Amino acid sequence: QVQLVESGGGMVQAGGSLRLSCAASERTLSRCAVGWFRQAPGKEREFVAVISWSGGSTYYADSVRGRFTIARDITKNTVYLQMESLEPEDTAVYYCAADPDGIAGRADDYDYWGRGTQVTVSS
């Protein structure tokens, strides 16, 4: 069982930056694709970004492409989401998830989930 823990959320003004971290309890994460999702109040959980197990492939939602960067440090068993130029519309709970079967864009494809970290962007 892979346990994921997100950190790095907080409150920031529009235009600001945050870096989220997703740490895994086991080295199994190194063999999983890892994705970030977010869920705003009253909305469905949506895909944000994903990185392959090797780190060689990344994909982003159109709404964050060019502003967010996903990366992984295998030695630290951690995946990061660097968020720049934040907008109030980015306000949500951010979740990381792991999929041992490879890159996926649907939440249902992911086997392991963290509990989320709140990101609030004020205008």
pLDDT in tens, 60-90: 999 999 999 999 998 888 999 999 999 999 9
pLDDT digits (tens, 9 = 90+) for 15-60: 999 999 999 877 667 788 999 999 999 999 999 999 998 888 999 9
DSSP 6-65: EE--EEEETT--EEEEEEESSGGGGGSEEEEEEE-TTS--EEEEEE-TTS--EEE-TTTB
